[in-house]
Chains A and B, each alone.
Chain A
């Protein structure tokens, strides 16, 4: 490993750091270097290659965009002795100079400390993210290529870099715009419905079944079992399920049916009690509300299922309604419910469990239908408005997908047309990805990138000098 005390000698002369190269230090270093050179010459006597790899040819670093100023990305060019530097790496000749790793060093740009090692990367890699920086402090980075025999000279950055905090994450611009777009339509349609305009939405088969199931349970004098999924209230499906529960409870209260809600989470129990109590009140039957019918079993998935299936075969509910987030327990519940002959309605946004509900339940609300159910069942025209907003979102999504696919196909047919490629890249990387509003034409770490960055920093340097000398009016 390279010794810190030699480092100034390997440094390319830098405009701003000249003061640091005091003569005695460099003289001392020269002598020590000579000594090391002699010794290394001795130790590498049988090895004409010398064993020390060529240093990485260039290094540069930039502030990571869209963060709170806590990371700097360092890029360098591969050493000539890097096994992946040439197109066909010759791994058979295992020369001592072959690079095994790169070591990244850093020091403060004001020169108050020495280079310290901040990390290593394996060969073939040309980037390192330093996430241990202080915001606004300028650093100089350096990198060495290391082989079994020793380390190359340090390649040092020409200009200092500092991490800056951004106030807005521009990479998320498009996401913000799309969020605004969809939300605006949802809010618009809710407002439209509120103003009294009747909105048309299609019927969903599973939904009428919910009321039907409650009615049948009342006729048979048997309870209704409602399962709100097995996740806590920090999952949106649980919340959507609670809205359905509110509606089911209200119907049950009106019909005078018993409603049983075993929960897998204490907080779901607490919230469900609030919801159901309110529903009974709204139905004008607050006296019929039984708190103990909404109870907690256990957080453990299969412990909970064991309890619920036991209850099912003993109480024989006439209707089982599953609304929320489900995992493997879905089929155990649905098969047991089917065995006892209950009407079963399920709704979940867990794609992996949908096949089981579809196979074993009478009606299944698939994904988005489940979220729509709360709007339908509420009977509140305002809530139906939100469905129209969702449809606008689907149009947007389908449109983006179609255009993207068309351009992606064209790109394969005419690979040379850059305009097609640019459109596809803009959809892919900017609108749907995290490249911000404008296209980044230069790939980080490429030749062009290194050049442009250096130029930009030089310009900045000129400005700074001008500012310091008072040459430019602010």
Chain B
């Protein structure tokens, strides 16, 4: 036991050391972002406030037409300058960021291989100047110069490019949790317990938040109080949307359900539950009968003999291919046989003996073949999931392979 602990401690120390070394010498886990600026001003007709609306004007009561302009996209604000409009209100500017590591990292490595400082990339204008200097000094040749300036020039379309410490930290946290979950394969341990606690708490919170913003707001509040929602959470709502008061019912049901928390009369919460259990029973009964009973039988109505025609290059039919017909017919016969024997297997009224038993046995064989095929088929997806996780670990975190 102590020996095992020692081994793990050594592995841990070596691992941390290797990570530290890699962190300071490579691009490991570095995440770069580009910003987009928003700076909104509301502009409106310049004369509207100076000259009071004329009484004869029918539209006198309506607001003067105003609009929002993003200064970052339209910094000139031509109409305002020409005096036709004026700024009515200004909002706090904001910037949103987007991950562009995939663009930045290859340029950085190009810089590195050319013997230049990779951190230059974050300031494309300065980087171009440094490339020119390096070219003059003969550190890089002309093809390198044009190539590097062209590549770094592509970054100039972003107003700002920078290292995001939040996201870089995030990559480390994500990597830690990935390893913590995988450590469960060896055995239960404190790292896994921490990861487990975090995932339970955070995902429960996540589902509730998502449920609130998507279902509760969009499917209940918007329907019941479209006016208030248009003024607050969902401004894009149509102006003429009328409230649908039938949605009071689910609201009342929530109240009934939460009555459980009250000291008395908690049994009333069974009402909404019973209502939905009834609806579920009715709805699923029809749904399964239509799609899975009738639908599957209809799909099963296939001919057992399928002649496959041989068509020449010019499009004329040259007759029926014996072998292909045999294959296609065989396939349909197998499908039909598997369905019918499978149904016999599910029979409850008769014991699996005699002819019924033998038929049911064939049914099980087909089920087993199907299960084997489904198992084998699924393995692929599972391995893909693992590859994706490892690609993250090797790419985004350790920077051993190209990032996805």
Contact = CB atoms under 8 A, between A and B. Distances in A.
Direct contact of A and B (CB under 8 A): yes
Interface of A: 175, 178-179, 182, 200-202, 233-236, 239, 267, 270-271, 274, 297-300, 302-304, 306-307, 309-310, 313-314, 351-352, 354-356, 358-359, 366-369, 372, 387-388, 390-391, 393-394, 397-398, 400-402, 404-405, 408-409, 411-413, 424, 427-428, 431-433
B280 A239 contact: yes
A388 B347 CA distance: 9
Given A234-B276, A355-B375, A179 B289 contact: yes
A341 to B, nearest CB: 15
B367 A366 contact: yes
A182 B293 CA distance: 11
Contacts of B303: 405, 408-409, 411-412
Given A202-B352, A310-B188, A402 B340 contact: yes
A405 B336 contact: yes
A119 B391 CA distance: 47
A448 to B, nearest CB: 26
A270 B297 contact: no
Contact of A236 (B281, B298, B343): B281
A351 B77 CA distance: 62
Contacts of B350: 202
A302 B351 CA distance: 41
The 7 closest A-B pairs by CB, nearest first: A303-B203, A300-B203, A404-B301, A432-B298, A298-B204, A299-B207, A355-B371
Interface in B236-290: 257, 260, 269-270, 273, 276-277, 279-281, 284-286, 288-290
A468 B188 CA distance: 87
Contact of B348 (A270, A391, A401, A402): A391
A409 B304 contact: yes
A233 B277 contact: yes
A8 B254 CA distance: 57
Contact of A391 (B293, B294, B305, B347): B347
Contacts of A366: 367
B60 interface: no
A404 B200 CA distance: 51
A473 B317 CA distance: 62
23 contacts: A178-B293, A234-B279, A234-B280, A270-B260, A271-B273, A299-B207, A300-B199, A306-B181, A313-B188, A354-B371, A354-B374, A359-B371, A368-B346, A387-B349, A394-B343, A397-B293, A400-B297, A404-B300, A408-B301, A412-B303, A412-B305, A412-B307, A427-B301
A234 B306 CA distance: 42
A270 B200 contact: no
B195 interface: yes
Contact of B280 (A201, A233, A314, A404): A233
Given A175-B290, A178-B294, A397-B297, 18 more contacts: A200-B349, A201-B348, A234-B279, A274-B273, A299-B203, A299-B207, A355-B371, A355-B375, A372-B348, A388-B349, A394-B347, A398-B343, A398-B344, A400-B297, A401-B340, A409-B305, A427-B301, A432-B295
Contacts of A367: 346
Contact of A233 (B188, B192, B270, B276): B276
Contacts of A359: 371, 375
Residue among A309, A355, A359 with the highest chain B CB neighbour number at 10 A: A355
Contacts of B374: 351-352, 354-355
B193 interface: yes
Interface string B347-378: 11111100000000000000100011011001
Contacts of A404: 297-298, 300-301
B340 to A, nearest CB: 6
Given A310-B188, A352-B374, A369 B346 contact: yes
Contacts of A394: 343, 346-347
Contact of A239 (B277, B344, B378): B277
B79 interface: no
Interface string B180-216: 0100100110001101100111111011100100000
Contacts of A299: 203-204, 207-208, 211
A306 B199 contact: yes
Contacts of A303: 199-200, 202-204
Nearest to A388: B349
A200 B187 CA distance: 48
A401 B193 contact: no
A233 B207 contact: no
Contacts of A427: 301
Interface in B305-352: 305-307, 336, 339-340, 343-344, 346-352
A455 B350 CA distance: 57
A297 B377 CA distance: 31
B15 to A, nearest CB: 23
Contacts of B184: 309
A314 B190 CA distance: 12
B346 A310 contact: no
B302 interface: yes
Contacts of A271: 273, 277
Contacts of A409: 303-305
Contacts of B192: 310
A235 B280 contact: yes
Given A233-B277, A388-B348, A397-B343, A405 B284 contact: no
Nearest to A392: B349
Contacts of A351: 374
Nearest to B300: A401
A363 B251 CA distance: 43
Nearest to A432: B298
A300 B204 contact: yes
Contacts of A304: 200, 203
Contact of A298 (B207, B260, B301, B305): B207
A315 B393 CA distance: 32
Contacts of B288: 236
A397 B343 CA distance: 9
B243 to A, nearest CB: 22
A462 B307 CA distance: 51
Residue among B257, B288, B302, B344 with the highest chain A CB neighbour number at 10 A: B302
Contacts of A233: 273, 276-277, 280
Nearest to B349: A391
Nearest to A238: B280
Nearest to B367: A366
A182 B286 CA distance: 12
A401 B375 contact: no
Nearest to A201: B348
Nearest to A183: B285
Contacts of A388: 348-349
B301 A428 contact: yes
Contact of A201 (B202, B298, B349): B349
Contact of B199 (A236, A302, A398): A302
Nearest to B335: A405
A413 B304 CA distance: 10
Given A297-B204, A298-B204, A303-B199, A267 B340 contact: no
